[in-house]
Amino acid sequence: MFQGLQQKWKVSGLQLVLILFTFAVGGSLTGFVGRRMMNLVSIEQDWLWIIVYILIITLLWPAVVLFVSVFFGQYGFFLGYLGKIGKRMGLAKKMNKAQIPTSDTPMESTNSLPSHLPGATGRPTTHIAIFASGAGSNAQKIIDHFRRQGHIKISLIVCNKPGAGVLSIASKENIPAILIDKEKFFRGNAYTDELKEKRIDFIILAGFLWKIPAALIKAYPGKIVNIHPALLPKYGGKGMYGNHVHQAVINAKEKESGITVHYVDEHYDHGDAIFQTTCNVFENDTAESLAQRIHLLEHEHYPRVIEKILSGS
C-alpha cells in the first residue's frame, strides 16, 4: 500500500511519512475545530446537526491541512494535491484564472511581449516551441496544461539528444519535433529559419542543457523563458543542472531550495527572474530526495507561470 502511494505521488519514503502525518494531524485538528464551532450553535435535531457538522468539516479541512503542512515541510505537495481535487470538482478553470498563490514570490520584469500575443489586441494563436534534452516531464505538464486552450498551442518540440524521452512525448502527442546538432545551433543560424517556418512566437526551455546562442536570443528577444531548479542567483551557471544543483544546495547546508522561472539572455541562468517559490531542505536529504520535491514544484507552477506571462497578467 505504502509503496503504491509512494509511486503514485512520486515522493521519497521520508516525504511519504511526513505527508501521512500531515493527513493525520490535519484531520484530527479539523475534527477538533469543527466540534468547537458546533458547540457555539444550538441545533436540536440530530440529523441537522450531522449535516451542518459535515459541511463545516468539508470547508475547514483544506485550510487546516495546508496550515499543518507548513510545519511538516509539505506545503507544495498539499497545494498541488488540493488543486487536483479542485480540478476533479470542476474548479480548475476558476483556479487557473486566479493569481498564483500568495505564498509564492512573483516578480516584475521589464521584458514585454509583442502585441500579437494574448493579452494585447484580441486572442490570436500563440505558437510555442519547447526545448528539452531529457525525459520531458515538464514538457508533458505544459502540453497537458495548454491542451484545451486554443489561443496557446505547443507547435514544436526541439531536442538535442537522440533517444530522449521528450521525443516519444512529441510522437505520442502528434507534435512536430526537430533533433538539432551543435554545429548548426552554435555556429549556424540556431535553427531560427525552422522556428519561423513553424510560426513560433515563444520559446520555453524545459530541461534543455545547451546554452542558448546569441542568434536565437536576437531572433526572440524577451520571448525565451527557462526554469531553474534552485533559487537564483544562487546555484546557477555552467554545470548547475539536475542533481549537481541539488547536491550543491545540500553541501551548503541551505534550509530552503526551490525553483526560479526567468527570461533567458546570453549568460547561463542570468536573465530577469519572473517567479520563485520554495521548499524545505531537510538534514537527511539526498540530491535525489530533494529533486523529487523540486520536480513537484516545477510541475505545479511552470505551466501556470507561462500562461500568466503569455496573457500579460
pTM exceeds 0.85, yes or no: no
pLDDT of residue 210: 93
φ and ψ at 299, to 5 degrees? -65, -35
pLDDT of residue 10: 59
pLDDT of residue 43: 81
Read off the amino acid at residue 219: A
In the numeric block, the cell 520531458 is attached to: 136
pLDDT of residue 126: 93
209's grid cell: 542543457
pLDDT of residue 45: 78
Is 228 in the active site?
yes
Sequence-ordered strand ranges (E) for the chain: 105-106, 126-132, 152-159, 177-179, 202-205, 224-228, 256-263, 273-280
pLDDT of residue 9: 63
Alpha-carbon gap, residue 27 to 137, rounded angstroms: 32
CATH domain 115-311 topology? Rossmann fold (3.40.50)
| pLDDT one-digit tens code per residue, 87-111 | 666 654 443 433 344 344 455 443 4
301's grid cell: 507552477
pLDDT of residue 166: 95
Neighbours of 110 (CB within 10 A): 7
Among 116, 151, 228, 295, which one carries the catalytic annotation? 228
Cα angle value 304/199/160 (rounded, 5°): 75
Sheet holding 105-106, edge to edge: 105-106, 273-280, 256-263, 224-228, 202-205, 126-132, 152-159, 177-179
Alpha-carbon gap, residue 76 to 174, rounded angstroms: 32
| For the chain, domain boundaries | 2-97, 115-311
Per-residue pLDDT of the chain (313 residues; tens, 9 = 90+): 666 665 566 566 777 788 888 889 988 988 888 888 888 888 877 788 888 889 888 888 888 888 888 888 777 777 777 777 776 666 544 434 333 443 444 554 434 444 444 444 456 889 999 999 999 999 999 999 998 777 899 999 999 999 999 999 999 999 999 999 999 999 999 999 999 999 999 999 999 989 999 999 999 999 999 999 999 999 888 888 889 999 999 999 999 999 999 999 888 888 899 999 999 999 999 999 999 999 999 999 999 999 999 987 5
pLDDT of residue 203: 97
Residue 94: CB partners within 8 Å, gap ≥ 6? none
Residue 200: CB partners within 8 Å, gap ≥ 6? 127, 128, 129, 155, 156, 220
Read off the amino acid at residue 34: G
